[in-house]
Amino acid sequence: MTDNISEKSILDKIKVTSDIRQLAEEDLDLLSAQVRQEMIESVSKTGGHLGAGLGVVELTVALHYVFNTPYDRLIFDVGHQSYPHKILTGRRNKMKTLRQEKGLSGFTKRAESEYDPFGAAHASTSISAALGMAVSADLKNEDRRAIAVIGDGAMTAGMAYEAMNNAGSMKLPLIVILNDNDMSIAPPVGAMSAYLSKLISSSSYRSLREVASQVAKRLPRPIANTARKAEEYARGIVTGGTLFEELGFYYIGPIDGHNIQHLIPVLKNIRDKREQGPILVHVVTQKGFGYSPAEESSDKFHGVSQFNIKTGTQNKSKNGAPSYTSVFSKELINIAKKDKKIVAITAAMPSGTGLDTFAEKFPDRFFDVGIAEQHAVTFAAGLAAEGMKPFATIYSTFLQRAYDQIIHDVAIQKLPVRFAIDRAGLVGADGPTHAGSFDIAYLANIPKIVLMAASDEEELKRMVLTAAKIDDRPSAFRYPRGESIGVTPSKITKPLTIGKGRIVKKGNRIAILSFGARLYESLKAAEILDNRGYSTSVADARFCKPLDTKLIKNLISNHDMLVTIEEGVVGGFGSHVMLYLSENDLLKINSNIQTIVFPDKFIEHAKPETMYKNANMDAESIVKRVMKFI
């Protein structure tokens, strides 16, 4: 450590990344330790994605030390691992606002900082974005580098390989840092690996390799083969980079991602040599590194609520009602016990979707396909084509990535794939990138699909059972994130009648028709309206497709106003109700129709109740909407 920097003040001196580059290399370990501690303290108060960030502290420090950020473009895939990056790029004092209303995003965000050149929250976009930036720099004759940091999990998605295949043919100075934190690709690394990585990233090695390649072409075949094999062996000691080299990338690694002395010389070598074309640097890290509760946790503290720093114990909700996710999982297990054709599919989210418990009961009928939603859907279609009963269990926001497969591979062929859509509606701290805002609109326009939305946990159980019995077409049911309502469990769960809603509360002036989880806010609104002298009916549509047209006709015919409400954008349930009324000339009976949908904007992260208030979907907002037009 240099004499003029105290142990306590080194992080205090970092306001922008150029300050990091003023430090001596021997100071970087201490800086990393202080960044790690700062991150743990901040996330303990806010919750968030902890484990991934802990694993890339040293890597992040090294990247900002070597590269000229923000002029050089540093792009983090997904963004779960970007908290150390935020601390080092002028946002340290805002870390305690992380994922809070009007605070820092839990992901990278262009509007938040010039150090975030590309926003991310979904996996496997970084290489494509970095390639676009590399091409732009080339076209504008700008001497800047584009660096993508992508995890081994995100490398399971086809988009990453599409980008690499494209980049490999361009010979631009694109840099990809493969952060392997699951040991799924590389063996353990050590001093020999670090030495060879430094060697093969150096200009002397490249020149020697190039000369050797030319010489080998002119040697007799046996000798030429020996020369090639010698080089391949030297590089094979490090690990097999054959796949990446076949895609046109120069492969270096693996390197210990927690050893700054190993990282710095390699990063400097690849920074200074631009004629090589795209380069992939394989870095091995440990998720949760440096914080024992995270290292010992099964998920390495991937996503946490507020927690006690000393023990790692996370704060738990006091409500006690089961989560919608656990209700779904439990019911799917119940019916799978009786039906051996039921299989469950997830795209790298076994615990998030509750299918980890299904996997424990039926390991041979559970499939985690990785971050590959397109494949998940077509894989499910193949299973359905052979008579199995697949439940493709995918977050609403991630199912967007497989829209063509839903239409082309499932719906056109009328295959009975069941889509269990978790995280429907607004999801709180993860913000607009994870909000399930679009699935009603993008599914309801598909011919013959059955589309349901659960208003509470008992309705969800019935929808799981209903979907299992639909064998002639695709079906989908959506449900929110978080705790359920806490209704009294029914003794017997029965499937629903397809296309049949229900009246929950009877009135005679106002009718509120809810599709999904706004039912209980609708009931609160009805109570307020009743107290103001406006007798209000509340109905649970259950189905967007097929619509319960008998119920809709009854409501519009016997009330002064009909209000529809759904947790989705325009083009969904309310639009289909209006189309039915228009096509059947029912608006002449009553044209006083209001549709409540999400506003035409992306709703920023906050507590869910605040987000719904901002979306005008709480009880008071429903009442205001009714009173405005009554």
d(CA 498, CA 423): 23
d(CA 284, CA 258): 8
d(CA 108, CA 116): 6
Cα angle vertex 300, ends 153, 103, to 5°? 85
CB atoms within 10 A of CB 318: 5
210: exposed, middle or buried (C-beta count within 10 Å: 0-12, 13-18, 19+)?
A: exposed
- Beta bridge partners, 284, equal 180, 256
Tell me the torsion sign for CA atoms 212, 215, 221, 222. Answer: negative
Instruction: Write the single-letter amino acid at 141.
Output: N
- SS3 category, 81: coil
Backbone angles phi, psi at 605, to 5 degrees: -65, 145
3-state secondary structure 284-339: ECCCCCCCHHHHHCCCCCCCECCECCCCCCECCCCCCCCEHHHHHHHHHHHHHHHC
- Beta bridge partners, 283, equal 179, 255
Nearest to 78 by CA among 160, 165, 150, 176: 150
d(CA 48, CA 127): 25
Token pair 């201490």 is at which residue?
30
* 301 Rama sector, left if φ>0, alpha if ψ -120 to 50, beta otherwise: left
As annotated, the active-site residues are: 287, 373, 401
Distances (CA, A) of 533 to 373, 619, 627: 50, 16, 12
Instruction: Write the single-letter amino acid at 237.
Output: I
d(CA 380, CA 372): 12
Q: Which residues contact 541 (CB under 8 A, 6 or more apart)?
A: 453, 501, 513, 514, 515, 547, 548, 551, 564, 573
Backbone angles phi, psi at 55, to 5 degrees: -75, -15
Q: Which residues contact 37 (CB under 8 A, 6 or more apart)?
A: none
